[in-house]
Structure 1
Amino acid sequence: MLIEARSGRLTAWGNALFAGLVSPDEAAEEIVGEDDRHRVLGVPGADGEGVGLTLALGRLRALGAVGLRLALPAPGHPLGLSGPPEFNSAALASGEGVVVEGARSGLVPEVTESGPGGDSVGRADRHVDVVWRCMPVREAPPADVPSLGEAERELADAMRETTEVLTRLDIAGSGPVADAALEAYRARAEAGRRLLAPGYPARAVRVLELAQRVRALVSIASTEGGDGREHGGAVSAAQIAARAEALRPVERTARRAQVAAYNSYAEERERRRH
């Protein structure tokens, strides 16, 4: 719940690379993160078997790419998408995607995990491969993406709404699952991880941090054992449904804010152009 979308990392560090603020190797390392390998399929003019991130980003830049935008669509909410239907469907199935501005292309990740499962299994025992599929994208305004300023104001309201909803529905936010999730969040924050790449404004980092916090709270409230019981304080199907319905717009606001934060680089570039 507290790990950023791979498409977010690709958007942020790809933009920093295009701006000349980081080297190709540094960008690729940050995008890959703890995964084992990333390949890109379908880049025009590239090897049909797939190429590495540095070569793919270089090729897209040669094709006219000027920046990257994040999409985090959900059923009924094509957040950040601009078509055509084939790309929208792939991004919706994945829950994320990247629009390459200037190159009329988009990238959607397909993740394959192998190795034994279980919480006791170490990272070295698992292998994660990511294949980015490059697809044609329509050059059009992305759906439902707010400005950074709008997102920050909406998040402030969402935080208040979340607290009110959890209190009204008797979801205390305590218990082993909630405690572990919040502790993981605090540990990551205290470690000073870089939420965004060089070149992003401090306001974008602040908005992204708050958006992730809101999504974490919503996820905890929706998770089995979130307050030590299977459905929190809700004891009937009607109350469970009421909780989900009440939290849905809050989660939507947090997703919109995440997209606004990652896309603030493109927003600033557009402002300078005009």
Structure 2
Amino acid sequence: MLTEPRSGRLAAWGNALIAGLISPDEAVHRIVADDARHRVEGLPGEADPVGLSLGLGRLRALGATGLRVALPAPGHPLGLSGPPDFNARAMEAEEAVIASGGQPLGLVPEIFEAGPDGDLHVEVVWHCLPVRDAPPADVPSLGEAERELAEALREATELLSRMDVAGSGPVAQAALEAYRERAARGREVLAPGYPPRAVRVLELAQRVGALIAIAHGPDGAGGGGSEHGAAVSASQIAARAEALRPVERTARRAQVAAYNAYVEQRERD
């Protein structure tokens, strides 16, 4: 997962809300984004699902001082600390949010979609579950993440060149231009309160993610069309995916480091 994850939006803007830097309405607006609605289910003291604003307020009342992100993948429990039930649900969703301070709780999203492409109605239910109060797995510091990303970007560029992917066709060029356009719109990569280095690391991780998506083909999931280069057979597509896996892992670790930087800085201070 190298696009902006919902868990990243929830943690970033939830942290800004907890710090008193934005209003509840702005936090909800930023977190929900293009989705129709978000709710929180299973909060202690709440028998029924509640709206996102009430859910974040409830977490703060339960003692939450910050929100961390987990972006696990098969064989890589990135950001998780247990127990097994929570880890399994987070692994299935490929993302989760863990509240730090107060009662150890985690949130895992469940996505409900309806309607045709172009008019998709999306609702998200965040399931609140107990988590283990322990250090998260395999999360680097911002400094480590930045160094690893610089190397990963070089590796990704070299790999795509060797595979005849980078800049090899109009679809690849269009994908790169679309990424540059999004980056140039002045969007807020992270919420207020995050250190500038976290913004830099997240932007670089997203750039690496854009290169990986191009390498995987038009569908971003291993489609490997001829528009992106010469690798079109199943074995070549598999080899491309295998070669890029360490780069993708590095980019995911960097994303988590960036989203968790607010909590890390708060704990240091």
TM-score by length of 1: 0.91
Contact 2:72 2:79 in 1 (8 A): yes
Check conservation: 1:87, 1:135, Cα contact below 8 A.
yes
Once residues 239 and 25 of structure 2 are traced to their aligned partners in structure 1, the CA distance between those partners, rounded to angstroms, is 48
- Residue 176 of structure 2 corresponds to residue 179 of structure 1: no
| Aligned counterpart, 2:263 | 266
What residue number does 2:226 align with?
229
Q: Aligned equivalents of 2:173 and 2:163: distance in 1? A: 19
Q: Distance in 1 between matches of 2:173 and 2:235?
A: 26
Correspondence 1:244-263 to 2 at 5 A: 244-263=241-260
- Which consecutive segments of 4 or more residues in structure 1 shift more than 6 A? none
Q: Is the 8 A contact 1:174 1:227 kept in 2?
A: no
* Alpha-carbon distance change, 198 to 231 in structure 1, aligned in 2, over 3 angstroms: closer
Separation (CA, whole Å) in 2 of partners of 1:174 and 1:9: 34
* Preserved CA contact (<8 Å) 1:79 1:145: yes
Matched, 1:131 2:130: no
Number of aligned residues? 265
Question: Residue by residue, what CA displacement relative to the aligned partner does 1:180-225 show, whole Å, maximum 9, x if unpaired?
Answer: 3223212211111111000001111111000001011011101248
Match for residue 71 of structure 2?
72
What residue identity is the alignment partner of 2:243? A
Q: State the alpha-carbon separation in 2 of the partners of residues 130 and 146 from structure 1.
A: 29
**Where does residue 187 of structure 2 map in the other structure?**
193
Q: Which residue of 2 aligns with 1:9?
A: 9
Give the TM-score normalised by the residue count of structure 2. 0.93
Map of 1:209 onto structure 2: 203
Distance 1:224 1:26, change over 3 A: closer
Q: Name the CA distance, whole Å, in 1 between partners of 2:13 and 2:124.
A: 17
How big is each residue's C-alpha offset from its partner over 1:19-47, in whole Å with a ceiling of 9 and x where there is no partner? Answer: 11111111111111111101110001013
Gaps of 5+ in 1: none
1:25 paired residue number: 25
Q: CA deviation at 1:173?
A: 3.8
Looking at structure 1, the residues matched to 22 and 58 of structure 2 have their Cα atoms a distance apart, in angstroms, of: 17
Could you tell me whether the CA contact under 8 Å between 1:90 and 1:108 is conserved in 2? yes
> Residues 120-156 of structure 1, C-alpha deviation per residue, up to 9 Å, x if partnerless?
x3xxx32111111101111100000000000000000
- The equivalent residue for 2:107 is 107
Structure 1 residue identity aligned to 2:152: A
SS in 1 for 2:134: coil
Alpha-carbon separation, structure 1, partners of 2:189 and 2:232: 38
Change (3 A) 1:133 1:227: closer
Q: What is the deviation of 1:163?
A: 1.3
Structure 1 residues 216-244: Cα deviation after superposition (integer angstroms, max 9, x where no partner): 10111012488860773225444333221
Distance in structure 1 (CA, Å) of the matches to 2:160 and 2:12: 33
The alignment's C-alpha RMSD in Å is: 1.8
Find the residue that maps to 1:57 and give its secondary structure.
helix
Quote the residue 1:44 is aligned against: 44
**Structure 2, unaligned runs of 5 or more:** none
Alignment partner of 2:161 out of 129, 142, 167 = 167
Aligned AA (2:165): I
User: How many percent identity over aligned positions?
Assistant: 72
User: How far did residue 178 of structure 1 move?
Assistant: 2.3
Question: What amino acid is the match of 2:154?
Answer: R
Displacement of 1:3 in angstroms is: 4.0
